[in-house]
Structure formats: structure tokens, C-alpha cells
Amino acid sequence: MYTFRFEWNESHGVGNDILDDQHKQLIGIMNDYYFSMIQGKGDIKAKTYLEQLLAFAASHFAYEEEYLAGKGYPDLKNHKEEHDSFICSIKDFLRVASTPTISLPIDMLKFIKKWEQQHMLLTDKKYAEFISHRF
Ligand SMILES: [Fe+2]
Ligand SMILES: [Fe+2]
């Protein structure tokens, strides 16, 4: 069954405890919002949630990019572009959240779910694979 619920599992693992822990926290933040939404509070909590997500994602991305630079990861430029584009989208949602609409929570969840599946489960896994073969 398709669900917007977020849960960290082994398939998110990138072979580094600090990064795995940051990804777990990120998934936790995403899931908190999912629960706010199913309790009917997605609209009121949207702005606070986006601010929290933005702050945490920015610090995680900075850490991850530095880690990848240290490992000489060849695809860092593209990886960073995906991070930057996520930050831009969250800032766009934040602008919308100042005048919340009914569709905002579901649009946000759809975007974040897609990000989890495309970035966390694919793009982040690519560096994990590179590092596991190289080091
Ligand atoms: Fe990443
Ligand atoms: Fe990441």
C-alpha cells in the first residue's frame, strides 16, 4: 500500500554512522509532519515544519558535501545541485505557507516523499556504493 509515512530502514544505510544518524533524524522530521497532517493539523504546522526541515537539511547537506569532498567523490557537483534544488523548493513552500491553503500539506508531502525516494534512496546510495568499493 502506498503511504506517506516515513520510516528509516537498512535500505537507507550509507555506511557511515553519523550520516545514517542524520538521515534517521531527517526521516523523523518528515514523519512528524505526516502525523500532524493525518491529525488534521498539517495546515497550521506547515510553516514551523518547513523551518525545521530547512535548518536540519541545510546542516546535513553541508556535512554530507564536506564528507564527500574528503572522499574525492567524483559526482559531488551533481549531488550538490540536488541539495541546492531541495533547499530552493523548501523556501518556495515556505513562501506559500505564509498564506496556507488546503492543498499545501499534501503538496509538501508528495514533494518530500519523492525526495526521499529519489535522493535518499538513489542519489545518496550512489556515494555509499562508491565509498564502499574504494575504501
Ligand atoms: Fe545527499
Ligand atoms: Fe543525505
Q: Is residue 6 part of a domain?
A: no
3 assigned to some structural domain:
no
Least confident of 6-10, 63-67, 97-101: 97-101
Q: Name 107's Cβ contacts closer than 8 Å, sequence gap at least 6.
A: 93
Tell me whether residue 23 is in a domain: yes
Structural domain including 96 reads 14-134
**60 C-alpha to center of ligand 2: Å?**
7
This prediction has a pTM of 0.94
Q: What is the pLDDT of residues 21-53, one digit of tens each?
A: 999 999 999 999 999 999 989 888 899 999 999
Q: What is the pLDDT of residue 102?
A: 76
Tell me how many domains the chain contains.
1
Residue list, CB under 5 A from ion ligand 1? 64, 124
pLDDT digits (tens, 9 = 90+) for 47-73: 999 999 999 999 999 999 999 999 999
Q: What's the 62 CA to ligand 1 centre distance in angstroms?
A: 9
Res 135: pLDDT:
74
Q: Does 75 map to a domain?
A: yes
Assess if residue 9 is contained within a domain.
no
CA-wise closest residue to 30 among 57, 65, 59: 57
Would you say 65 and 83 are in contact if contact means Cβ atoms under 8 Å apart? yes
Residue 55 is part of a domain; what is its CATH number? 1.20.120.50
Give pLDDT, residue 56: 98
Distance 34 CA to ligand 2 centre (A): 20
Q: Tell which residue, 53, 51, 47, has the closest CA to residue 97.
A: 47
